[in-house]
Amino acid sequence: MAITLSLSAADLDNDDLQDVTRRLCRDLIDEAGVTATLATRTAEPGAKGDLAVLAQIIIAAVSAGGFASVLVNVLKAYVQRKPSLRFELLNAKGDKVTIIGDDLRASDMNHLTQAIKNALEGVNE
C-alpha cells in the first residue's frame, strides 16, 4: 500500500509549488530511502502521456517506525526554507495527518512522529 503526501502553500504559485514537490520527492528517495514518485493521473484520449497531479507525491513501501522520524527531519528542512508550507499525509484507509510549519518547529517532536506512525499503521499489511 502507498501513502499520498500533498503539499500546499498560500504564497506559492502552481509552478513553484510543483518545483518544491519535485525536490521533496527526490529528497525522500535520497534521504529517507523510500520509493517515491510524483502522483499522476491518466491523460485524456489523444493527449501525450500521463499528467502530473499538482503537489502530490506517492510514497510506497514504508516502515512506520523509522520512516516517520526521517520524514519529520526532511519536512523540517523544507519548512525552515519556506515556513508557509503545509503537508498532508493520507493512507489508503483514509487516515490523514496534517502538518503545518509550527508542528515542525516544536521542541518536542515525539507527538508529531507518533501521529505519523499511527497514520501509517497498516500501510504494509
pLDDT in tens, 75-113: 888 988 998 999 999 888 888 889 888 777 766 677 788
Radius of gyration (C-alpha) of the chain in whole angstroms: 14
CB 33 within 8 A of CB 73: no
CA distances from 97 to 3, 113, 117 (A): 11, 11, 10
Q: What is the pTM of this model?
A: 0.82
| pLDDT (0 to 100) of residue 43 | 61
Mean pLDDT of the chain: 82
Tens digit of pLDDT for each residue in 57-72?
999 856 555 777 788 8
Strand partners, 41: 51
Joined grid coordinates for residue 13: 504559485
| pLDDT (0 to 100) of residue 46 | 66
For the chain, counts of helices (H) and of strands (E): 4, 5
Q: Which domains does the chain have, with CATH numbers?
A: 2-120 (3.30.70)
pLDDT confidence band for 51 (50 / 70 / 90): low
